[in-house]
């Protein structure tokens, strides 16, 4: 079925209020989750909403919790998320990074003891829509083996870099450190399809593009093999050591669904130092050069990071958001 | 042959002085280039020195040039590198980011119109050795096709994240956005070896681990395929739009060897906000958890980013730096 954005938003808002969330906060969370689906990140939108509500019911997500300042110095601050909603905590932290950036040119906010922020790109868009450049990342439960290992001791630690465009069609890089998500493997397995490149190792220790084989071993490969493995580790070190939050190792010792993660948010108010119009023109030269690339045989359109999201958004605004009947019925019954 | 670090340093310093560099600056450049080889980054150390001197002789590198401030606001600054040495310009910029971080908690310095900084990790080490966390990156000439394209319109844009350890065995991620460097492909081709994973596409458009086949097409693959491609683009956008320096597209229009690139340096004085001892302990928990990984059959030791460098350093300090006779004789004849 397809559901209009406004309908998805209002049903999810109502369910959150029924489960103890203030109307204002319920509206923020439901808006971002509906937007994630609208913009094509189905795994972290409507499809994940029932799991979020179960998190509230099990006490992992505390709807009334607000972030509290732990310590700060100049342009850097760190907050305890007090296990509130991952989405509202992360929006708050990026707001703080932007406030500090307005004052100092650059600002950083750390967030400890928070919950899954759903789509990483959300916080990049939050900043670029206000004219800041932004970087942010989170750590996670261990879900990826380091290069050369068989057991998962790294997080996939999603990482975002975002820069605004004048026309609002912003440039946003949003990537977990695994080559594919477990969600993507499940979808391909159900459809009987292979992945476009190797997704992990099979039980014989060979690289494989068969999603079933990789789901069996859970030996996902890091994007770029040793490269994504090493970057994931440093993202965890930054997210936990600069904030004194939990590192992936610490998160692995908590019981229940993923919670208590650590995050960092950076905003740059570059317009305080350079002519914003000139920065926009530089970006347009870079995009034009990229898009003049000669396509490989059989390849799709050459896109810049963020462009595909806008295609999904336009289509889903027009036609409604595709939602599995079972997923929607589960939400209605919560 | 093998050459002692001190001998490599003094020969390179002398050659730089003969080619118009002040003794102080020649010492800084020669020290870092000798250290790059000492620590196992052979491609950006002694092996590249003759090319650097040719860059001076052709006017691309101006030995007497110093960085000059263009504009600043609070904790952010940007400098014109005036085509001075990439190494001394970048050390200066990271020093400025650290000075700003001491004052504001975080600092950022942009550098435009500068030269190749050689080993990216140099600037990470420069910061962590003084107790800061650091991020830095540079753009480059176009040397990597974007995902789905055959011609190179992205840089490999090396990216660094570095965090200190108490015992000095620091954690440093240093990675270009291609899965392999051209240098690594050349070495494997001469040795008649295959790459450990696919390095690019062959002339039939198929993924290939044959270095000769990829050197022929020059269709290198980004690390993580579409992921490294997208990250490379955002690194270029940040490096050029925040500084108003050249983007990869602009660099492609300059004649001669790569020059005039743009770079960004971030330093975080996190000790101003959190207990440094507690941050060190968090990092040790993360490293211990990683190193307890169960190794895959046939895999080497599980290492954290930066560990392998120290092995090379210890061995080369003891035995001397391996250098090709032809490379060394060319340097002596400069």
What ipTM does this complex have? 0.98
Backbone angles phi, psi at A234, to 5 degrees: -65, -35
**A205 part of contact set with chain B, CB < 8 Å:** yes
Instruction: For A200-249, write each residue's pLDDT tens digit.
Output: 999 999 999 999 999 999 999 999 999 999 999 999 999 999 999 999 99
pLDDT of residue A274: 98
- The pairing of strands A76-80 and A106-114 is parallel
Q: Are B27 and B13 in contact (CB under 8 A)?
A: yes
Q: Which of B44, B116, B126, B259 is catalytic?
A: B44
- Residue bearing tokens 């020649």: B26
pLDDT confidence tier of residue A167, bands split at 50, 70 and 90: very high
User: What is the torsion angle, in degrees rounded to the nearest 10, for the CA atoms of residue A180, residue A181, residue A187 and residue A193?
Assistant: 20
A178 pairs with which residues across the strands? A222
Instruction: For B117-145, write each residue's pLDDT tens digit.
Output: 999 999 999 999 999 999 999 999 999 99
- Please answer yes or no on whether A149 and B107 come within 8 Å at the CB atom: no
Measure the CA–CA gap between B334 and B324, rounded to whole angstroms.
16
Instruction: For A169-196, write each residue's pLDDT tens digit.
Output: 999 999 999 999 988 999 899 999 999 9
Q: Which of A19, A44, A104, A259 is catalytic?
A: A44
pLDDT of residue A183: 87
Q: Per-residue pLDDT averaged across A95-124, rounded?
A: 98
pLDDT confidence tier of residue B229, bands split at 50, 70 and 90: very high
Structure tokens, A264: 């960092």
- Please answer yes or no on whether A201 and B296 come within 8 Å at the CB atom: yes
**Average pLDDT in chain A:** 97
CB interface of B with A, residues 4-63, below 8 Å: none
**B251 part of contact set with chain A, CB < 8 Å:** no
Structure tokens, B18: 């003969």
pLDDT exceeds 90 at position B247: yes
- Please answer yes or no on whether A305 and B73 come within 8 Å at the CB atom: no
Q: Are A115 and A60 in contact (CB under 8 A)?
A: yes
The shortest CB-CB distance from A175 to any of B227, B266, B279 is to B227
**B254 part of contact set with chain A, CB < 8 Å:** no
pLDDT exceeds 90 at position B321: yes
| Residue B44 is a catalytic residue | yes
All structural domains of chain B: 2-57+311-332 (1.10.1530.10), 68-271 (3.30.1370.60), 276-304 (no CATH)
Measure the CA–CA gap between B189 and B211, rounded to whole angstroms.
5
pLDDT exceeds 90 at position A34: yes
Partners of A74 on chain B (C-beta within 8 Å) are: 75, 103-106, 272
- Residue bearing tokens 């000492």: B38
The shortest CB-CB distance from B73 to any of A162, A173, A273 is to A273
CB interface of A with B, residues 285-314, below 8 Å: 285-286, 288-290, 292-302, 304-305
Strands in chain B per DSSP E: 2-3, 68-73, 76-80, 106-114, 133-138, 144-145, 152-154, 159-163, 171-175, 200-201, 207-208, 261-268, 321-322
Instruction: For B30-86, write each residue's pLDDT tens digit.
Output: 999 999 999 999 999 999 999 999 999 999 999 999 999 999 999 999 999 999 999
pLDDT of residue B183: 87
**For chains A and B, what is the number of CB pairs under 8 angstroms?**
299
Closest approach of B131 to chain A, Cα-based (Å)? 12
Q: Is A266 helix (H, G, I), strand (E, B) or coil?
A: strand
């Amino acid at each position: 079925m397809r559901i209009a954005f406004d309908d998805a938003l209002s049903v999810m808002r109502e369910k959150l209020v029924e489960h103890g969330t203030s109307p204002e906060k319920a509206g923020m969370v439901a808006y971002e989750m509906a937007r994630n689906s609208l913009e094509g990140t189905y795994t972290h939108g409507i499809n994940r909403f029932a799991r979020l509500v179960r998190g509230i019911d099990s006490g992992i997500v505390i709807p009334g919790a607000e972030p509290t300042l732990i310590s700060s110095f100049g342009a850097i601050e760190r907050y305890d998320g007090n296990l509130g909603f991952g989405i509202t905590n992360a929006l708050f932290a990026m707001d703080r990074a932007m406030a500090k950036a307005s004052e100092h040119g650059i600002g950083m906010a750390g967030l400890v003891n928070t919950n899954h922020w759903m789509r990483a790109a959300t916080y990049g868009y939050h900043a670029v829509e206000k004219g800041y450049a932004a970087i942010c990342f989170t750590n996670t439960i261990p879900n990826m083996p380091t290069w050369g290992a068989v057991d998962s001791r790294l997080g996939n630690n999603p990482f975002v870099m975002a820069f605004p465009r004048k026309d609002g069609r912003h440039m946003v890089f949003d990537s977990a450190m695994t080559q594919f998500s477990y969600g993507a493997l499940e979808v391909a397995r159900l459809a009987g399809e292979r992945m476009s490149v190797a997704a992990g190792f099979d039980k014989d220790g060979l690289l494989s593009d068969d999603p079933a084989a990789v789901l069996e071993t859970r030996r996902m490969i890091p994007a770029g093999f040793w490269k994504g493995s090493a970057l994931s580790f440093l993202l965890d070190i930054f997210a936990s050591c600069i904030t004194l939050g939990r590192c992936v190792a610490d998160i692995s010792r908590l019981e229940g669904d993923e919670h208590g993660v650590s995050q960092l948010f950076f905003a740059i108010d570059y317009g305080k130092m350079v002519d914003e119009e000139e920065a926009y023109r530089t970006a347009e030269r870079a995009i034009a050069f990229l898009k003049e690339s000669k396509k490989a045989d059989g390849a799709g359109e050459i896109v810049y990071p963020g462009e595909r999201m806008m295609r999904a958004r336009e289509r889903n605004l027009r036609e409604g958001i595709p939602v599995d009947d079972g997923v929607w019925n589960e939400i209605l019954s919560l």
